[in-house]
């Protein structure tokens, strides 16, 4: 797979971030950037016909195991961040009655 493809995914996420006016859309744009990043890294370690890097795969060409190990960590972190952000979205909706950035960022810091 071409690394250009993952860059396109990342750029879609960046474009979404710069244009979406809704908090939930922003959260998902962050998720899209993250998906693009994961694709990019897996791509760098992999090649066509490579075997899965697990024990027992001796004698065959295995793909680089490090990117896969690192990306599992990234996926875990990403899911944490998405869930935390969505929880905050619910709380913001309860307090402001809206999840548009413009409505939410209006007004001072007095609660």
Partner 1 sequence: MMHLIPVFFVFIPIIASLIVYLFKSKLSTYVIILAQLLLAILYGIYLIDFSETMSMPLVIFGGWNELFAISFYNDTLSLTFVGLAIFMWTMLIFYTFKTNQDEHKFLFFFMFLEGVFLGLLQTNDLFNLFVFLEVMTVLITILIAYRKSGPSFRAGIYYLLLNTIGAMFFLIGIIMIYYVYGTINIQFLIQNMDLHQQEGLIKLAYIMMLSGISIKAAFFPLFTWLPMAHGVAQTSISGLLSGLVVKGALYMFIRVNLQMFSQTDYNTHEIFFYIGVLTALVGVTFALTQKDLKQILAYHTVSQIGIMMMGLSSVANLSYIGGFFHILNHALFKTLLFLCAGVIIHAYHTKKVYEIRGVFKTMPWISILLIIGMLSISGAPLFNGFVSKTLIKYDFKNDPFKMIIFTLINIGTVTSFIKFSQILFGHKVQIEKNKDTLQIVSMSIIGILCVVIGLFYIPIGSFIFGTDLSYVTFKDPRQWIDYIIYVMAGLLLYRHVIMRDYVPLQIIRESRLTFEHANYVFILYMVVLSLFIFMR
Please report whether residue 72 would count as binding partner 1 according to CB under 8 A. Answer: no
Nearer Cβ to partner 1 (1/95): 95
And the tokens for 98?
């809206």
Instruction: Name the strand (E) or helix (H) holding 73.
Output: helix 65-96
Question: Cα(79)–Cα(65) distance, rounded to whole angstroms?
Answer: 22
Distance of CA 44 to the CA centre of its chain: 18
Binding residues for partner 1 (CB under 8 A): 10, 14, 17-21, 23, 26-27, 30, 33-34, 37, 40-41, 44, 66-67, 70, 73-74, 77, 80-81, 84-85, 88-89, 91-92, 95-96, 101-102, 104-105, 108-111
């Amino acid at each position: 797979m071409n690394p250009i493809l993952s860059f396109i995914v990342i750029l879609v996420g960046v474009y979404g971030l710069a244009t979406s006016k809704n908090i939930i859309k922003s959260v998902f744009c962050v998720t899209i950037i993250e998906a693009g990043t994961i694709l990019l890294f897996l791509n760098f370690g992999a090649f066509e016909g490579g075997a899965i890097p697990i024990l027992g795969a001796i004698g065959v060409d295995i793909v680089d195991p490090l990117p896969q190990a690192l990306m599992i960590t990234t996926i875990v972190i990403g899911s944490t961040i998405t869930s935390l952000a969505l929880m905050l979205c619910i709380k913001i909706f309860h307090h402001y009655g809206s999840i548009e950035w413009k409505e939410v960022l209006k007004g001072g810091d007095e609660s």
